[in-house]
């Protein structure tokens, strides 16, 4: 099973990114109308965390005004999970390297200067601070050739397709620290640096950069104005974005999600891999596994279904989950939606819970220091449990590396099934707002004393 411990998990202190925007890959994007800028020299920098690998294109930035290479530019992930820069009839470059990690953040920089006398320096691509030099296609623009970015009066699209006026090729995942610099070809050191302790590439402040005519900086800090230009210029227009699209999952504090690389055949993950939908006995697990420490997350029941297991799973590699029932194996522990019973190794017993209903918010606490796991709902722990005092757990004797998990219980499910996970960056509105003791996460209910949200800063400290 492909579990990936994400990047940016051990960087030292410094510049912190507080927010990103979560995009659904179906309709959400940003756009702006350009003034007459520099079409030959510009730089685009963005941090992205992918949610879906697909045989389709997912744009970072695009603009269209004519059916010519000077009239169309699209920079994106392309089929085969490569990075591509294309004009109307020319692929300027396509990487040999593939980008399939859905649990980590990538920093991607495209630096353009077609005035350069050296053809190979006119288009430069950097990923995580390192220049990409291996391409399946590589075509240098002519000297002083215009590209379609910064065209006077034309609309530029962020995370969508310009040729269809934003109607396709949406980016699916999270983006943060997104910058367009009009008039300069910059290197990645203008946007990031290697951490002196870990060697991991990390962002740094871009407040001192000169934006140019059409330049902008999206920091996504204002949930009511996600298109705000933090450089102080003209804000971008938001399309199908609301306050719910603001996330705290960022390139300096990466939060757990559900894992699209480890899910059953009939499972669909959406909302930044935080929403689980299934119609058979299959399940999925989270991207972070822990073997020590105390951890808390919540699960909102949108459509309860008939027999659903919310639980945890040990990655022992000897059982077919997530293509089989969760709690029926020795490696899975769960509570079932019918009656709130607990299940492990085919053994089902009462846990003093109750059936899950639409709108319930489940609380999950995992104590790997003592091998115990707890569950409750709507601010009440099942069986009068108390994770803070280590009393009345759902299960004991839990060892190994443990991942959050969910699965249906039987092959035949009645009605729709929809559960949303909140590891601290929720895909739904929170009415109260609670953090862990270190100030991380956004939860409906109070985090038990000594427990923490599943993110890379907490993992570096407590995991």
**CATH topology identical between 20-247 and 258-462:** yes
Residue 128: HSE in the Cβ half-sphere, 13 Å Cα cutoff: 12
Length of the chain: 463
**Global pTM?**
0.94
Name which of 321, 304, 344 is nearest 263 in CA terms: 321
Q: Which two tokens stand for residue 319?
A: 């059982």
Please report the DSSP string for 289-350 in residue order. -BSSSEEEEEEEEEE--SSEEEEEEE--SSS-TTSS-STTSTTEEEEETTTT-EEETTEEE-
Specify the pLDDT at position 11: 52
**CATH superfamily name and code, 258-462:** SPRY domain (2.60.120.920)
- Per-residue model confidence as pLDDT tens digits over 284-302: 999 999 999 999 999 999 9
Q: Check residue 452 and report its DSSP letter.
A: B
- Per-residue model confidence as pLDDT tens digits over 165-213: 999 999 999 999 999 999 999 999 999 999 998 899 999 999 999 999 9
Model confidence band, residue 142 (pLDDT cutoffs 50, 70, 90): very high
CATH architecture of 20-247: Sandwich (2.60)
Q: Which two tokens stand for residue 146?
A: 């215009």
Specify the pLDDT at position 290: 97
Model confidence band, residue 278 (pLDDT cutoffs 50, 70, 90): confident
Locate tokens 């299959």: which residue? 282
Model confidence band, residue 1 (pLDDT cutoffs 50, 70, 90): very low
Does 347 have pLDDT greater than 90? Answer: no
Higher pLDDT, 340 or 217: 217
Does 322 have pLDDT greater than 90? Answer: no
Look at residue 82 and give its three-state secondary structure. Answer: strand
Name which of 123, 143, 147, 137 is nearest 73 in CA terms: 147
Q: Which two tokens stand for residue 206?
A: 């871009």
What whole-number distance in Å separates Cα of residue 170 and Cα of residue 259?
Answer: 20
Domain ranges of the chain: 20-247, 258-462
Please report the DSSP string for 346-394 in residue order. TEEE--S-----TT-EEEEEEETTTTEEEEEETTEEGGG-BGGGTBS-S
């Amino acid at each position: 099973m492909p579990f990936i411990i994400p990047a940016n998990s051990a960087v030292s202190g410094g510049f912190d990114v507080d927010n990103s925007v979560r995009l659904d890959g179906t309709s959400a994007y940003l756009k702006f109308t350009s003034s007459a800028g520099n079409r030959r020299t510009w730089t685009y920098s963005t941090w992205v965390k992918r949610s879906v690998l697909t045989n389709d294109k997912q744009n970072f930035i695009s603009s269209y005004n004519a059916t010519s290479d000077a009239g169309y530019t699209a920079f994106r992930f392309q089929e085969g999970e490569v990075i591509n820069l294309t004009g109307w009839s020319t692929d300027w470059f396509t990487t040999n390297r593939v980008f399939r990690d859905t649990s980590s953040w990538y920093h991607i920089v495209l630096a353009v200067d077609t005035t350069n006398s050296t053809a190979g320096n006119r288009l430069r691509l950097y990923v995580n601070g390192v220049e990409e030099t291996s391409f399946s296609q590589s075509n240098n623009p002519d000297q002083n050739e215009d590209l379609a970015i910064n065209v006077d009066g034309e609309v530029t699209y962020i995370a969508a397709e310009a040729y269809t006026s934003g109607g396709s090729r949406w980016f699916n995942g999270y983006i943060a620290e997104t910058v367009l610099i009009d008039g300069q070809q910059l290197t990645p050191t203008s946007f990031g640096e290697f951490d002196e302790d870990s060697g991991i590439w990390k962002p740094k402040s871009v407040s001192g950069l000169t934006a140019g005519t059409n330049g902008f900086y999206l920091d996504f800090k204002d949930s009511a104005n996600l298109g705000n230009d933090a450089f102080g210029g003209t804000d971008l227009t938001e399309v199908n974005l609301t306050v719910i699209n603001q996330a705290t999952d960022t390139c300096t504090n990466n939060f757990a999600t559900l894992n699209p690389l480890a899910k059953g055949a009939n499972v669909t993950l959406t909302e930044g891999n935080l929403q689980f939908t299934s119609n058979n006995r299959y399940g999925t697990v989270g991207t972070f596994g822990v073997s020590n420490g105390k951890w808390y997350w919540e699960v909102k029941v949108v459509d309860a279904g008939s027999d659903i297991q919310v639980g945890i799973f040990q990655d022992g590699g000897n059982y077919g989950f997530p293509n089989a029932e969760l709690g029926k194996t020795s490696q899975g522990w769960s509570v079932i939606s019918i009656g709130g019973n607990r299940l492990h190794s085919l053994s089902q017993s009462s846990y003093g819970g109750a059936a899950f209903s639409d709108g319930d918010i489940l609380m999950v606490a995992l104590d790997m220091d003592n091998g115990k796991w707890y569950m409750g709902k709507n601010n009440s722990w099942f069986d009068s449990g108390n994770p803070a005092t280590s009393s009345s757990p759902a299960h004991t004797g839990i060892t190994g590396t443990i991942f959050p998990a969910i699965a249906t219980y039987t092959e035949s499910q009645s009605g729709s099934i929809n559960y949303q996970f909140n590891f601290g960056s929720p895909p739904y509105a929170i009415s109260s707002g609670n953090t862990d003791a270190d100030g991380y996460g956004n939860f409906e209910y109070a985090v038990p004393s000594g427990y923490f949200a599943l993110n890379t800063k907490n993992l570096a400290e407590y995991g």
